[in-house]
Amino acid sequence: MILRKILLVLVGYLLVQFIYRIWKVRKALKASFREMQNQQREHTPNGETRIYRNNPKPPSNNQNDGDYVDYEEVD
């Protein structure tokens, strides 16, 4: 009977520690996310729009870009 109570107290203690650690990590992540948003807000002036592209196209040096080629039908 005493062993059962000790085991329940131990399991309860471990469960509380586990939940506390999860809560602490979530709190730290939220604080980090808020800080990142604040820094981003400070660096972007009001009214300015920024467009970020993942894969910008390199400038084309080909002189034939946009030329129309007329093909004739061969019978």
- In-domain check, residue 73: no
Residue 56 falls within a domain, yes or no? no
The letter for the amino acid at 67 is: D
Domain of residue 6 covers 1-42
CA 31 to chain centre: 15
Calculate the dihedral angle through the C-alpha atoms of 54, 60, 66, 69, rounding to the nearest 10 degrees. Answer: -120
The tens digit of pLDDT for each residue in 7-63 reads 999 999 999 999 999 999 999 999 999 998 888 777 766 667 777 777 766 666 666
Which whole number is the average pLDDT over 68-72? 79
Own/partner pairs, 1-8, CB within 8 angstroms, 24+ separation: none
Query: Quick check: pTM over 0.85?
Result: no
Asked if residue 62 is part of any domain, the answer here is no
At 19 the pLDDT is 96
Q: Is residue 30 part of a domain?
A: yes
Angle made by CA atoms 54, 46, 34, in degrees to the nearest 5: 70
Provide the 8-state DSSP code for 52: -
11: in domain: yes
| pLDDT score at 44 | 61
Count of structural domains within the chain = 1
